[in-house]
Amino acid sequence: MKLLPTVCPACNSQLKAKSLTCAHCNTEIQGEYELPVLTRLLPEDQSFILEFIKSSGSLKEMARLLRLSYPTVRNRLDEIIERLKKTESPKENNGKENL
Amino acid sequence: MNEIVNNIQTVPRRSTSQWLFNPFSFVAGYQALLLGLGIMLISAFFGFLGNTHFDGVLDVHKGLEAPLRFFFTEGIIDWLTIAIPLFFFGLVVSNSSVRMIDVFGTQALARWPYIVISIVMLPEANQRVGVYLVAKFGFAAAPAAINYMDIFIFGFAIIVGIFMAVWMVALMYKAYVVSCNIKGARAIVTFIVSLIGAEVLSKMLILLLFERL
C-alpha cells in the first residue's frame, strides 16, 4: 500500500485532501479537507500509537509486547507527544523558533 | 508479537552492541535492581578475596583485609551516592515522569564492569607492585621484591581497570539518560555534577565506615 503523502514536495506545506472516492460505487466528493493530525506522524509513530491504544494505554503492557524496558517505551511515547504538539501547532512553533 | 515490533520500526533491536552499551533499553526497574544487587555482591566477594576496595564511586584500591560485609557496604554506598542525586536531577530537570526504581535499578546494573576489575585485581602481584611503587616514591621504608611477571600482571590489571572504569561511567550516563529521559547539555552537566558530588560523599562515608573496622 502506498504511503499517504502529507507534505508538499515543492514548498513543504501541509497537504489537504481535495477529493474522496468510494471504491465501491465510484462516487467522488470534492472539497478541501484537513488531514487528521495522526496521519501527519511517521508510519512507525502511528503503529506505536495504535499498539498503545490496543494495550489500553498501559506502558507496562507495551514494554512487555515490545520486549523493551519501561523507561524506553515511556521515552518513545514522550517523543511522539512532542512531535504531535509540533504537528498540531506548526505556526506557533515557527514563531517560537523565530524568537 | 514480531509483527508489532516490525511495524514499530524505530524500537532498538536486541543486538550484542545494545546489550554491551545500552542494556537499559531492555532491562530497567526491579529486574535491573536485582541484577545490580547481584553484581554488587559478586564484586564484593571478589574484592574480599583480593582485598580490592571500591572506596569511592569510581575508585579501586588494594587495601586492608576486612569482613565481606564491608566490601558489600562500599558497593552500596557507591551506588546510592550517585543514584540519589541523579534521581533528584531527574525529578527537577526532566519533562517525563521519572520512576525511582528505574534510576536506582539501572544505576545498579551499570556497575557490572566492576566485577571484571575485582577479578583482574585478585592476583597478589598487584599488591606487591603497589607496595613497591609506594616505597619507590618515598612513602614507605623498604621496597617489596617484585619480578617481571608481577609488573606484567599489574600493567594488565591497570589497563583493564581503566577501560572498565570508563565503560562503567558510560553505562551510568546511558542509564541516567534512559531512566530520566534527559538529553544534551542538561544531561551532561547534571551527570558531571552528580558524579563529582557522589565521589566526594562516597569517599567520606567509606572513610567513616572504615573507622568502625
Which of A52, A73, A75, A78 should one mutate to test binding to chain B, selecting the residue with the greatest count of B CBs within 10 A? Answer: A75
Residue range B77-88: average pLDDT? Answer: 96
Percent over 90 (pLDDT), chain B: 66
Predicted complex ipTM = 0.82
Q: In whole angstroms, give the CA distance from residue A81 to residue B17.
A: 28
Identify the three-state secondary structure at position A49: helix
CA distance A29 to chain B (A): 32
Predicted confidence band of residue B140 (pLDDT cuts 50, 70, 90): low
Residues 6+ positions from B160 with CB-CB distance below 8 Å: B116, B117, B120
Residue range A37-54: average pLDDT? Answer: 89
Q: Measured between CB atoms, does A88 come within 8 Å of chain B?
A: no
The interaxial angle of helices A70-88 and A90-98, nearest 10 deg, is 90
Which of B4, B94, B97, B98 should one mutate to test binding to chain A, selecting the residue with the greatest count of A CBs within 10 A? Answer: B4
If one compares B18 and B39, the residue with the highest pLDDT of the two is B39
For A66, the closest of B5, B32, B97 (CB atoms) is: B5
Domain extents in chain A: 37-92
Q: Is B153 contained in some domain?
A: yes
pLDDT for the residue A60: 93
Q: Is B14 contained in some domain?
A: no
Count structural domains, chain B.
1
pLDDT for the residue A1: 64
Q: Measured between CB atoms, does B11 come within 8 Å of chain A?
A: yes
For A69, the closest of B5, B25, B96 (CB atoms) is: B25
CA B2 vs. chain centroid, Å, equals 35
If one compares B164 and B134, the residue with the highest pLDDT of the two is B164
Q: Is B56 contained in some domain?
A: yes
On the question of pLDDT at A2 being above 80, the answer is no
Q: Measured between CB atoms, does A66 come within 8 Å of chain B?
A: yes
On the question of pLDDT at B156 being above 70, the answer is yes
Q: Are strands B61-62 and B52-53 parallel, antiparallel or unpaired?
A: antiparallel
Residue A44: other Cβ atoms inside 10 A: 16
C-alpha cell read off for A3: 504511503
Q: Is B13 contained in some domain?
A: no
Q: Where are the alpha helices (DSSP H) in chain A?
A: 43-54, 59-66, 70-88, 90-98
Q: In whole angstroms, give the CA distance from residue A43 to residue B107.
A: 34
Q: Which residues of B touch A43 (CB under 8 A)?
A: 9
Residues 6+ positions from A18 with CB-CB distance below 8 Å: A30, A31, A32, A33
Cβ–Cβ < 8 Å for A78, B95: yes
Report B:12-41 residues touching A (Cβ under 8 A): 12, 14, 24-29, 32
Q: Measured between CB atoms, does A70 come within 8 Å of chain B?
A: yes
Residue range B107-118: average pLDDT? Answer: 94
Q: Is B4 contained in some domain?
A: no
Chain B: residue whose CA lies nearest to A48: B8
Predicted confidence band of residue A95 (pLDDT cuts 50, 70, 90): very low
On the question of pLDDT at B108 being above 60, the answer is yes
**Domain extent at residue B44:** 27-210
CA distances from B35 to A30, B56, B112 (A): 61, 21, 9
pLDDT for the residue B198: 96
The pLDDT mean for chain A works out to 85
On the question of pLDDT at B62 being above 50, the answer is yes
Q: Is B44 contained in some domain?
A: yes
If one compares A6 and B25, the residue with the highest pLDDT of the two is B25
Residues 6+ positions from B107 with CB-CB distance below 8 Å: B36, B79, B82, B83, B86, B172, B175, B176, B179
Residue B55's H or E segment, with its range, is none
pLDDT for the residue B74: 94
In eight-state DSSP terms, residue A23 is T
Among A81-85, B74-78, B185-189, whose mean pLDDT is lowest? Answer: A81-85
CA distances from B136 to A61, B9, B86 (A): 61, 59, 40
Predicted confidence band of residue B72 (pLDDT cuts 50, 70, 90): very high
Residue range B11-40: average pLDDT? Answer: 88
Q: In whole angstroms, give the CA distance from residue A30 to residue A12.
A: 23
Greatest CA separation found in chain B? 70
Q: Which residues of A touch B25 (CB under 8 A)?
A: 68-69, 72
If one compares B180 and A36, the residue with the highest pLDDT of the two is B180
